[in-house]
């Protein structure tokens, strides 16, 4: 069963509350959820960024003009003996688009390779940041949460979904005992503007049945206590299953 808004609030009371949400504001409490907000930092896997390309660009405002070349660095190599108004990397993209296409296997991610999980940080200015639809972004909630005796679950808000912003893929359901910020796996269908502190999703709580095995008490828990956007831990390959199949 899912908790109502008033029950979420009740479970936040007392010396040992089942729910901690900080910062908390009553204006964000809904009928059966609490609204979560996007932090001001995004992370992108370095391995997936073509040289000379920008995963995101500052928003110029509703009256500003954006161009395809804005996705490319403007400090590339100069053309010998001539002046060219277009950035080097943009001209290179026009000639060799496959070099900048993330479907190119050179940008593959090996989930078991820690090198492929190294990131760069991108700050979201208050005036907004335009996300490129080719890239995946790791964001995080402003809110730090703790959950006990319940299962937390995050989902996108309907207005976020109707702007075709995906804010998580397979990581929407949390664990009893999880403590930390929530990392968001963000992807957009179109070039889309995001802002720090915009409402990005909602957290729900479901009751549990049976003996507890809290996430924060399990030594192998990768993400407990995480703060800010957190890159993937290498995915293990359980070779003991080979023996069990024999």
Residue 200 to residue 125: CA distance in whole angstroms: 16
Q: What angle do CA 175, 181, 187 make, to 5 degrees?
A: 95
Active-site residue (options: 7, 86, 146, 185): 185
3-state secondary structure string, 148-170?
CCEEEEEEECHHHHCCCEECCCC
Q: Cα(133)–Cα(165) distance, rounded to whole angstroms?
A: 10
- Reading the block at residue 234, the tokens are 């290498």
Strand 129-131 relative to strand 56-58, pairing = antiparallel
Cβ pair 47, 107 in contact under 8 A:
yes
Note if 185 is an active site residue.
Answer: yes
Active site residues: 185
């Amino acid at each position: 069963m899912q908790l109502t808004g008033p029950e979420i609030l009740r479970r936040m009371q007392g010396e040992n509350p089942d729910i901690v949400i900080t910062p908390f504001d009553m204006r964000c409490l809904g009928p059966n959820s609490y609204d979560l907000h996007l932090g001001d930092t995004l992370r992108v896997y370095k391995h997936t960024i073509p040289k000379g390309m920008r995963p995101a660009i500052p928003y110029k405002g509703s009256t500003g003009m954006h161009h395809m070349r804005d996705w490319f660095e403007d400090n590339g190599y100069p053309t010998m003996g001539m002046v060219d108004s277009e950035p080097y990397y943009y001209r290179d993209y026009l000639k060799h688009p496959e070099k900048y296409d993330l479907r190119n296997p050179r940008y593959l991610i090996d989930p078991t390779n820690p090198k492929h999980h190294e990131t760069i940080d991108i700050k979201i200015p208050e005036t907004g940041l335009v996300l490129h639809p080719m890239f995946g972004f790791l964001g995080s909630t402003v809110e730090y949460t703790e959950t006990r005796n319940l299962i937390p679950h995050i989902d996108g808000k309907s207005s976020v979904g109707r702007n075709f912003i995906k804010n998580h893929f397979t990581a929407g359901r949390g664990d009893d005992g999880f403590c930390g910020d929530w990392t968001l796996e963000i992807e957009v269908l179109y070039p889309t503007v995001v802002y720090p502190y915009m409402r990005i999703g909602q957290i729900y709580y479901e009751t549990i049945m049976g003996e507890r095995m809290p996430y924060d008490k399990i030594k192998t828990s990768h993400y407990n206590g995480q703060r800010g956007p957190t890159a993937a831990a290498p995915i293990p390959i359980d070779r003991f299953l080979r023996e069990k199949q024999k």
